Chain A
């Protein structure tokens, strides 16, 4: 649906790599151009009209984000460069200070590198212990397995809302409830979720949550960290410089600004933030629930077609997201991507930055199709057709 809104779709390509990044609708592109063409000044420097306009627009987006994820306060919305920075900020500015040697962090082996490596770094630097929640036969996180993994030393559970290879949706609300009953914090990587499912941080009651604009039809290089106000207040500054300090003197006394500005050092990605605002407007216009049900139906359609091909192994049958990972028997995933590319089909091959997944699935790499609402059943038919002739694949994969 809404294909006409996306200039990239005027090209003769089938784009099935939306988990990596999504295309941008015209209103997002226009909003970025409008900033650069009509009021391209810095923010927080409201000494003249166009700068004042930047301030208003920039803060207006913060309010849009707050509303979009239903945060209680605007101050809980920090603009970052993306999910990776959001998670690193949580690890470095909050948990590095809060955790002690021997404290335990629970993650899963199906996490993306961005939700693994910041915690590994804490393990290496301050001696916290990383533990993995067992996964069920479909590689999903279950409440029982979370309960089994929690010990008196557990201080944090950090999980993706939806994972980027398996595409499973985690029961975050239930996990948070039982975590909080045991004084355990919950941090959520919402990169793969934000464009596909409604996120309500108050309902989920998570402590921290990060996502990227470019995976939700917005610009690259900008994202969001949500954190509960009382926790963000306790956190150290992540980067220091202009815009985040109230004052400093030659005695090295630094007085930080209050939230959210203490985390927004240096000139921010203003065009990106404005584009993010336009992306939120766009998603709201279509309706996240409409997007969700359309994409779920599309995934079911794809699975039904793929499972009829006997040499295709689907890795994640059971997942209510827009992600399908699979392999073609005896053909390396990259060769499949290369073959499909010859027909202008964009899919991702490899380990998808989730290098621990192989420890649970036994599959080191796969082909991933990640759908968006602008994809169609006709596109799926075309790709399934291409995958239905094994000899053709073998012949044309090099």
Chain B
């Protein structure tokens, strides 16, 4: 992915985030995720039916990287089974940890492939996944 395209994806998702907004519907679970190194503070709303993530929305305050990453994450994760979502998250972890990863799983989330170069922003890109991973791992427990 070339630099201009990456920038475009990030800015577009920051300016017009997908799945953005507060949800007040009891069929959704809510979890909060924040970044201890800054003030990012996002609430996520998730709806799972028959092991499939039917919907995932978010709202709150966050920097450009956290917000665009959350937008992309929600777009890519809606429709996945819990296991697929967990696999997706580990591919994202591989990418930001500079390990081999599957581009075809991450799609446009690959725009963060160079984020490891900016240590302070690595956490921002990972923000949407940290809370989701914990939520999904505990879902069947």
- Residues of chain A at the chain B interface (Cβ within 8 Å): 331-335, 338, 349-351, 364-365, 394-395, 397-398
User: For residue A338, which residues in chain B have a CB less than 8 angstroms away from its CB?
Assistant: 63, 120-121
The reply to whether A335 and B63 contact each other, CB–CB distance below 8 Å, is yes
Given known A332-B64, A338-B63, contact A365–B39 (CB-CB < 8 A) = yes
Nearest CB in chain B to that of A395: its residue: B7
- Residues of chain B at the chain A interface (Cβ within 8 Å): 7, 10-11, 14, 38-41, 61-65, 67-68, 120-121, 124
Nearest CB in chain B to that of A332: its residue: B63
The reply to whether A332 and B61 contact each other, CB–CB distance below 8 Å, is yes
Given known A398-B7, A398-B11, contact A364–B61 (CB-CB < 8 A) = yes
Nearest CB in chain A to that of B121: its residue: A338
Name the residue in A334, A349, A350, A365 with the highest tally of chain B Cβ atoms < 10 Å from its Cβ.
Answer: A334
User: For residue A332, which residues in chain B have a CB less than 8 angstroms away from its CB?
Assistant: 61-64, 67
User: For residue A364, which residues in chain B have a CB less than 8 angstroms away from its CB?
Assistant: 39, 41, 61
In terms of DSSP, what is the predominant structure of the interface of chain B?
helix
Question: How far apart are the CA atoms of A395 and B64 in the complex, in Å?
Answer: 11
The reply to whether A365 and B64 contact each other, CB–CB distance below 8 Å, is no
Question: How far apart are the CA atoms of A125 and B66 in the complex, in Å?
Answer: 38
Min Cβ gap A226→B in Å is 33
Of B14, B61, B65, B121, which is within 8 A of A365 by CB? B61
The reply to whether B61 and A398 contact each other, CB–CB distance below 8 Å, is no
User: For residue A365, which residues in chain B have a CB less than 8 angstroms away from its CB?
Assistant: 39, 61
Question: How far apart are the CA atoms of A179 and B76 in the complex, in Å?
Answer: 60
Nearest CB in chain B to that of A339: its residue: B64
Some 11 contacts from A to B, beta carbons below 8 A apart, are A332-B64, A333-B39, A334-B38, A334-B39, A350-B39, A365-B61, A394-B11, A395-B7, A398-B64, A398-B65, A398-B68
User: For residue A333, which residues in chain B have a CB less than 8 angstroms away from its CB?
Assistant: 39
Name the residue in B10, B39, B121 with the highest tally of chain A Cβ atoms < 10 Å from its Cβ.
Answer: B39
Question: How far apart are the CA atoms of A41 and B120 in the complex, in Å?
Answer: 39
Nearest CB in chain A to that of B124: its residue: A334
Question: How far apart are the CA atoms of A338 and B40 in the complex, in Å?
Answer: 14
Given known A398-B7, A398-B11, contact A350–B64 (CB-CB < 8 A) = no
User: For residue B64, which residues in chain A have a CB less than 8 angstroms away from its CB?
Assistant: 331-332, 335, 397-398
Question: How far apart are the CA atoms of A365 and B66 in the complex, in Å?
Answer: 15
Given known A364-B61, A397-B64, contact A351–B39 (CB-CB < 8 A) = yes
Nearest CB in chain A to that of B62: its residue: A332
Min Cβ gap B22→A in Å is 16
Min Cβ gap A262→B in Å is 36
Question: How far apart are the CA atoms of A334 and B68 in the complex, in Å?
Answer: 14
User: For residue B10, which residues in chain A have a CB less than 8 angstroms away from its CB?
Assistant: 398
Nearest CB in chain B to that of A355: its residue: B39
User: For residue B40, which residues in chain A have a CB less than 8 angstroms away from its CB?
Assistant: 334
User: For residue A334, which residues in chain B have a CB less than 8 angstroms away from its CB?
Assistant: 38-40, 63, 124
Nearest CB in chain A to that of B6: its residue: A398
Min Cβ gap A364→B in Å is 6
Min Cβ gap A343→B in Å is 15
Nearest CB in chain A to that of B14: its residue: A398
Question: How far apart are the CA atoms of A353 and B61 in the complex, in Å?
Answer: 17
The reply to whether B61 and A349 contact each other, CB–CB distance below 8 Å, is no
Nearest CB in chain B to that of A350: its residue: B39
Question: How far apart are the CA atoms of A350 and B63 in the complex, in Å?
Answer: 10
User: For residue B14, which residues in chain A have a CB less than 8 angstroms away from its CB?
Assistant: 398
Min Cβ gap B84→A in Å is 28
